[in-house]
Amino acid sequence: MIQTTLRVKNPRDPYSFLEDEFLVDSGATFTVVPKKALLEIGIMPLREEKFTLADGKVITRQIGNAIFEYQGLEGAAPVLFGEKGDSLLLGVFTLEALGLSLDPLQRRFYKATLRL
């Protein structure tokens, strides 16, 4: 497991942001941030989708868009509005938006090979 600090910005107002510790989960597609925190910085949900968890359980979550910043790198990606009990997760869509990959053995990020 690896944790890292990540800044989440409102795409319409990049001066509205939150910064927190995220669990990096290379098995997670989306980044998850608590709904209350996203609403506080003005990020609004765009739609709702169903997701299947690793244990087969199906959940419904709202999705919006955010700008993510990590050590000066910025990228835009979708964000899930976390509900009570959901962990702060940094998913693969956000890593790709930042041009990063995870080395799970060294527990660090490296510049990804970008492909079209």
Distance CA 63, CA 5 (A): 21
**Per-residue DSSP letter, 30:** S
The fraction of the chain above a pLDDT of 90, given in percent, is 76
pLDDT tens for 74-92 read 999 999 999 999 999 999 9
Give the domain CATH number at 59: 2.40.70.10
Q: How many domains does the chain have?
A: 1
Instruction: Quote the domain boundaries for residue 15.
Output: 2-111
Contact 103, 109 (CB under 8 A): yes
What is the pLDDT of the chain when averaged over all its residues? 92
Residue 116 lies in a domain: no
- Cα–Cα distances in Å, from 21 out to 12, 24, 55, 106? 23, 9, 25, 19
1 contact partners, CB below 8 Å, separation of at least 6: 23, 24
Q: Residue 55's CB: how many other CB atoms inside 10 A?
A: 5
Structure confidence at residue 107 (pLDDT): 72
pLDDT tens for 33-65 read 999 999 999 999 999 999 998 899 999 999 999
